[in-house]
Amino acid sequence: MFHSMDSCKRQIDILQKTKNSRFFPTVYDYDSYSIVMSFVYGSTLSYYLKKNQINEHLSFELVKLVEEFKRLHFTKLDARLGHIYLQPDETIKVIDPRGCYDITLPYPRSMLKGLKERNVLKDFFACIKYDYPDYYRYWRSRMS
């Protein structure tokens, strides 16, 4: 349920642009103040990383998510860990992609900051270093 028609419409517009992406829930119906979409299973990445370490598969999923943001022409290439859900099949889904066309952020600042707060940023960088060297170098430089 949204507090304003405008915020609901902006969210619908974004979710319609992401309808063919595996990283976002499917929209079934909507009205001026609400959206009916597929249920997102699993736990937030923020919660998951309180009890678990990051691994290569999850690290690659996060990089693929940022690549998907680029493919969708998002100007904000970021999502908070609390908006990223780890599914039972070890894929990820994003909820509430707010500001993705309104804010310009060329790297996943909040995501990397969240990984740092969970003490897994070094492990994340170690996982992506060889398979995604450009992201590794750029993101490390932004976090310095």
Rg (CA), the chain: 15
Instruction: Give the model's confidence band at 65: pLDDT under 50 very low, under 70 low, under 90 confident, else very high.
Output: very high
Residue 76 has pLDDT above 90, yes or no: yes
What 3-state DSSP class applies to 43? strand
Please state the rounded mean pLDDT for residues 91-105. Answer: 93
Task: Record the tokens describing residue 11, joined without a space.
Answer: 């969210």
Residue 92 has pLDDT above 90, yes or no: yes
Residue 1 has pLDDT above 90, yes or no: no
Residue 119 has pLDDT above 90, yes or no: yes
Residue 144 has pLDDT above 90, yes or no: no
Chain mean pLDDT for the chain? 96
pLDDT tens by residue, 13-59: 999 999 999 999 999 999 999 999 999 999 999 999 999 999 999 99
Confidence at residue 14, expressed as pLDDT on a 0 to 100 scale? 94
Cα(70)–Cα(91) distance, rounded to whole angstroms?
Answer: 18
Confidence at residue 98, expressed as pLDDT on a 0 to 100 scale? 84
Domains and their CATH numbers in the chain:
40-143 (1.10.510)
Please state the rounded mean pLDDT for residues 88-116. Answer: 95
- Measure CA 52 to chain center: 18
